[in-house]
Amino acid sequence: MSTADTLHHSLQDLLVQRYDEFRQRLYSRLGSHQLAEDALQETWLRIERMQEGTRVQHPAAYLFRIAMNVAEEQRRKHARVMTLDEVEDLYQMADELADPAREALGEQEIRIFRRALAELPRRRRAIVTAARIEDTPHAEIAERFGVSLRTVEKELRAGLQHCCERLERDYSPRYGPRQKRPTQS
């Protein structure tokens, strides 16, 4: 048995042994049981395709990072796929909703958003712009700024919260830790 096979088997064994833990951690970060399970299944397949010579110092963290990357890739893929009928429906809906008052409100919201974005510190503004306007992957943003993925997530969250406050909207992360609900007395 080669070194790669041994690594594959040990990572797969760890994934099986701690499957419920990984699934729960992914669910709490992603907010979706289905996405968490799909990410773990794809993680299993990626382990099988690993190159010989791959070194892993922290196997559990390595597996979790693979699963998070898979989930992000799946989210992006599904966010961009629309059928031609759905696109046509959007065009029709846009025509029905286009009136001068709505257009003026939309333009006002864009101005407010631009002002809110300009109020952010330079790096935070650049991270929000890269992530939400340019759709740059978080890993690429982290590399560009020489920071960790966690720092990118924190800066992005803070920037989006600020913009939502200025727009008088509730901030709701797409994926991330679930917000704790106040307990009822």
Domain ranges, ordered by start, for the chain: 3-80, 84-166
How far is 125 from 128, CA to CA, in rounded Å? Answer: 5
pLDDT tens for residues 30-47? 888 888 899 999 999 988
Q: Lowest-confidence range among 61-70, 90-99, 114-123, 132-141?
A: 90-99
Whether the Cβ atoms of residue 34 and residue 17 lie closer than 8 Å to each other: no
Query: For domain 84-166, which architecture applies?
Result: Orthogonal Bundle (1.10)
Class of domain 3-80 (CATH, top level): mainly alpha
- Per-residue pLDDT tens over the stretch 74-101: 877 776 656 667 667 666 665 555 566 6
Whole-structure pTM over 0.75, yes or no?
no
- Please name which of 43, 30, 34 lies closest in space to residue 70, comparing C-alpha atoms: 43
Domain 84-166 in the same topology as domain 3-80: no
